[in-house]
Amino acid sequence: MIIEEITSEDVENALKCIRRSVEISNAPDYPPNVIRIQLEKHYTLEWMRNAAKNRYCAVAKEGGEIRGTGALVKNELRNIFVDPDYQNRGIGKRIVQHLERKAVEEGFGEVWLVSSITAHGFYKHMGYYDVKEVQERIGDDLVTGYLMKKTSQLTRGIVTTTKYGSSFVIMP
């Protein structure tokens, strides 16, 4: 499994991964209308191309196939998804850790995100804590999410490899 920055060749398969995750993993937690709107109006090829151009996007690949994806905008994690057939194998954890390292490298000491109901427990397990519950209207439905934050432990014991192959540990 490798985690790397998305390329233009990855965009369509990354989108397929996201859409599959929304359809399968999020469906038990959200009304069908919310899932439909997310797929028809939000997670589109145009959106994915724009995201790949305007933010740091990473993909998790195994045997050349995309198994997960995620993005970082300044110090905010966005759109972390893992193909449902590959969930609970540490892929999401590796994507989040990759993006956290990127945030630390860019000088941030904390990372924020808005979690879905579906991923809330995962992020708590990753050391994020709830700041507040947030709500968003999607169609006729009011959808709950969780504004979450992770601070000090971000900078403790992160091993980073430089482009020259040497490793170091970032300490607070």
CA 154/CA 104 separation, integer angstroms: 7
Tens-place pLDDT, residues 93-124:
999 999 999 999 999 999 999 999 999 999 99
Tens-place pLDDT, residues 63-104:
999 999 999 999 999 999 999 999 999 999 999 999 999 999
Which tokens go with 4? 């790397």
SS3 88: coil
Residue 153: the pLDDT is 63
Residue 151: the pLDDT is 87
Instruction: Indicate which CATH number applies to the domain containing 92.
Output: 3.40.630.30
Averaged confidence pLDDT in the chain: 88
CA 81/CA 151 separation, integer angstroms: 22
Query: Number of folded domains in the chain?
Result: 1
